[in-house]
Amino acid sequence: MPDVSLIQCDTYQPEALKDTILQSLSNIGFDLTRFNNARVVVKPNLLMPAKEEKAIITHAEFFRAVVRIVKENNGTPVLVESPAIHSLKRVIKKTDYARVVEEEAIEIADPMQTRTLSYDAAKKFRYIDISEAYFDADIILNLPKFKTHGITYVTGAVKLLFGAIPGVEKSKMHMRAPDHEDFAEFLLDLYGAMTFGMKPSVPIVHIMDAICVQEGEGPGPAGKARWLNAVLAGDNGIAVDYVATMIAGLDIDKALTVVNGFRRDYGISSAKEIKVIGESIKNLQVSDFEPATGSTIFSNMFRWPFNTPTFKNLFLDRPVPAEDKCTLCYQCKKICASGAITASSGKKDIPNYDYKKCIRCYCCLEICPEAAITKQKGRFGWILGG
């Protein structure tokens, strides 16, 4: 039975956080002596350079509390993460991580060196290249930030492992798994491969920053920060994501990495098997949490003929940049794996979008530093309830 620790926490004050995380590890029966002489990969969400108050990245003090616990128990913490576009060094330099990494003297691994991870039980993606640093770890501590997401509905423990794939290689995976259902299955293949397919195996513990989170058009600058006041932990990422989605009061049937994850039987096949330790879900649950628009509504329908350019243009939301916000930085062009974005033609000071090529992965919307891109409804989107 997967245990999930759930503790109320409304502060990023370092000592209080450390106590909360220690209690979380104790709740799930994690023995701190496992850190002794261990190389501990600590993986926060460092999607992009962002201020803490936007709740895009795992809070730097949350990361500090975890690495202090590792160090105090004679382990060596190593920061591993691969942001979407920018180098890891640049994201660290532009965030509060610069201070924490220096003060705590944390080793940073190069996320761009890769090794192929193979997993025979994968549904579709048996071979995935991930950062080599994960193979050198004795333990992986995955530190997701709970946020809404335009494709996966929520992003938490399962989705955060996507960051094991280096840089813009991530957005290419959207070309190989273009619809919501396929993308969720790919994420579950990756989760299964990292959880059960590493040789020798490397245990993963998920410790979630669900204190200040994102609602609305997460997980980037277009999302809105709000306080959910919770820290979660568990060694089953699907179970952790289930509990987080429930305390946000969201529709669990739309969280495909959770409901499809139950079908994989990765140590859990239904919510009934989860034992929540600490607070009850009911006590922390909120009722006014805003989901991202256009999430998984079409997930089961988004197959031929619904994924042809004509149908996509008529039915699905299209990403549209606003001229008054766009700075022509072209980060959207850089991340678009389908080549749908080209330089401004000069008529308008915004990049050109070719909606026939666009696969609606919304990576551009996620990464735009100005939150200049919004979703515009397809002409007949109302028919599908979008």
Residues that bind ligand SF4 (CB under 6 A): 319, 321, 326-332, 335-336, 338, 340-341, 351, 353, 358-364, 368, 370, 372-373
45 near 57, Cβ under 8 Å? yes
Comparison of 206 and 375: residue with beta carbon closer to ligand SF4: 375
Q: Which residues have C-beta within 8 Å of that of residue 133, sequence separation ≥ 6?
A: 41, 78, 80, 109, 110, 111, 113
Whose structure tokens read 């691969």?
82
Please report how close the Cβ of residue 335 comes to ligand SF4 at its closest, in angstroms. Answer: 6
Please report how close the Cβ of residue 375 comes to ligand SF4 at its closest, in angstroms. Answer: 9
Comparison of 197 and 220: residue with beta carbon closer to ligand SF4: 220
Please report how close the Cβ of residue 32 comes to ligand SF4 at its closest, in angstroms. Answer: 43
Name the pairing type of β-strands 139-143 and 204-216. parallel
Please report how close the Cβ of residue 309 comes to ligand SF4 at its closest, in angstroms. Answer: 12
Q: Which residues have C-beta within 8 Å of that of residue 340, sequence separation ≥ 6?
A: 353, 354, 355, 357, 358, 359
* Residue 219 preceded by cis peptide, ω within 30: yes
Please report how close the Cβ of residue 176 comes to ligand SF4 at its closest, in angstroms. Answer: 13
Q: Which two tokens stand for residue 339?
A: 């080549």
Q: Name the amino acid, one letter, at 168.
A: V
Distance CA 111, CA 96 (A): 20
Please report how close the Cβ of residue 319 comes to ligand SF4 at its closest, in angstroms. Answer: 5
Comparison of 73 and 344: residue with beta carbon closer to ligand SF4: 344
Comparison of 76 and 374: residue with beta carbon closer to ligand SF4: 374
260 near 185, Cβ under 8 Å? yes
Please report how close the Cβ of residue 57 comes to ligand SF4 at its closest, in angstroms. Answer: 18
Comparison of 213 and 326: residue with beta carbon closer to ligand SF4: 326
Whose structure tokens read 């001229």?
323
Please report how close the Cβ of residue 336 comes to ligand SF4 at its closest, in angstroms. Answer: 3
Listing DSSP states for 74-101 in one string gives: T-EEEE----SSS-HHHHHHTSTHHHHH
Which of these, 257, 60, 82, 219, lies nearest to 163 by C-alpha position? 82
Comparison of 246 and 363: residue with beta carbon closer to ligand SF4: 363
Q: Strand ranges (DSSP E) for 332-386?
A: 341-342, 352-353, 373-376
Distance CA 284, CA 244 (A): 10
* Residue 200 preceded by cis peptide, ω within 30: yes
SS3 115: strand
Please report how close the Cβ of residue 337 comes to ligand SF4 at its closest, in angstroms. Answer: 7
* H or E element that contains 282: helix 281-284
Comparison of 268 and 372: residue with beta carbon closer to ligand SF4: 372
Comparison of 57 and 60: residue with beta carbon closer to ligand SF4: 57
Comparison of 246 and 368: residue with beta carbon closer to ligand SF4: 368
SS3 122: coil
